Each structure stands twice: as C-alpha cells, then as structure tokens.
Amino acid sequence: MSGHSYDAEKYWKANLRLILGSLIVWALVSYGFGIVLRPMLSGIPIGGTDLGFWFAQQGSILTFIGLIFHYAWRMNRLDKQFGVDEE
C-alpha cells in the first residue's frame, strides 16, 4: 500500500462486482453456449464446425483467457482509483 487511505468496503464491493461479472460471462459462454444452447447454435457454421461445438472446444477457452486479461486490467484501474496500486 502506498500510504493512502481508502474505503476498504467500497473497494471490496467493486472487486466482488468485477468477480461476479466475470463469473457470469464465463458460465454463460462455457456452460450456456457450449452445453445448454448448443442445439440452437448448431446451424451456425464457424471454422468448419457449428458454433455450439466451437464454443465448447475453443470459444470458452479463448473467452476465459480474455477474462483473465480484462480482470487484470480492471483491477489495476480499481487499485489506482482507491490508491492501493503498487506504483
């Protein structure tokens, strides 16, 4: 911590909102698109296969990697906003 005072409760609530949002996107893409909604997505071709299969095999992994970078970027902004960044 860099000596700044910050509101720990607001910081934690913002962090939890970010985590919850990330989990919702992850669940929708991996479970929703890859399993539950796969029959609806089966008629949409992508990369030689249907969209539901693509989400189950590659789309959910790429989305997860994107979520990791998005989370790190947003947490860095959140840390700066509340004065708890490392710089």
Per-residue model confidence as pLDDT tens for the chain (87 residues): 444 557 889 999 999 999 999 999 999 998 898 889 888 888 899 888 888 888 888 888 999 999 999 999 999 999 999 888 776
Residue 3 inside a domain? The answer is: no
Residue 87 inside a domain? The answer is: no
User: pTM value?
Assistant: 0.77
Supply the Cα-derived Rg of the chain in whole angstroms: 18
**Which pLDDT value is given to residue 2?**
47
Residue 1 inside a domain? The answer is: no
**Which pLDDT value is given to residue 65?**
96
Amino acid sitting at position 47 = G
Residue 62 inside a domain? The answer is: yes
Residue 57 inside a domain? The answer is: yes
Q: Give the range of the structural domain holding residue 60, as residue numbers without chain letter.
A: 8-82
- As a whole number of angstroms, the distance between CA 79 and CA 25 comes to 22
**Which pLDDT value is given to residue 5?**
59
Residue 12 inside a domain? The answer is: yes
- As a whole number of angstroms, the distance between CA 68 and CA 57 comes to 18
Residue 14 inside a domain? The answer is: yes
Question: For the chain, how many structural domains are there in total?
Answer: 1
